[in-house]
Amino acid sequence: MTTGFSIDADIRPPGQVGRSAVVADDDPGQRDELARHLAERGFIVSTVSGGFEALNLIGVEGSAVALLRRHRLEDEGDRAAALACMLYPHTRIILTAGAPDAQLDAEPGNSPVTVLARPVDLALLDRCLDGL
């Protein structure tokens, strides 16, 4: 059985005042750590617990980056990331996933979404953010 959903997407270009980021994670500790780190890098950070909640924020805030949690392949995080890539091509989408995850070993450039192992290595996250 498939379930449907609808989304009201408020699509805006990236903000001019500052760089914004969205962190969607149902683990409060990981969510807070990522939000703190992004704030230290100069991002204005919004946090939510789920990937679909993040979609609206990405559009409203014109986020430069969004970190979404993936529990397993083709879950809410995966679907939200796919929608975000289509709706908000200006936003860098990063999935965080528990290892083992087959896509963690994928060749760079094969996917529009970066997948980082949990707990997230902040130095590796910084390399993903360079150039934003």
Sheet holding 20-24, edge to edge: 44-48, 20-24, 65-70, 92-98, 114-118
Residue 14 maps to a domain: no
Split into its structural domains, the chain has a count of 1
pLDDT value at position 31?
Answer: 96
pLDDT grade, residue 131 (50/70/90)?
confident
Strand partners, 44: 20
Write out the two tokens for 132. 């934003």
What per-residue confidence (pLDDT) applies to 17?
A: 45
Instruction: Report the predicted TM-score, pTM, of the whole model to 2 decimal places.
Output: 0.80
Residue 34 within any structural domain of the chain = yes
Asked if residue 90 belongs to a domain, the reply is yes
Q: CA 106 from chain center: how many Å?
A: 18
pLDDT of residue 5: 55
Of the candidates 71, 70, 43, the one whose C-alpha atom is nearest the C-alpha of residue 57 is 43
Residue 4 domain-assigned (yes or no): no
Query: What is the reported pLDDT for 107?
Result: 46
Range of the domain at 65: 20-129
- The pLDDT tens digits of the residues spanning 4-53 come to 556 565 555 555 446 899 999 999 999 999 999 999 999 999 999 999 99
Helices (H), 64-103: 76-87
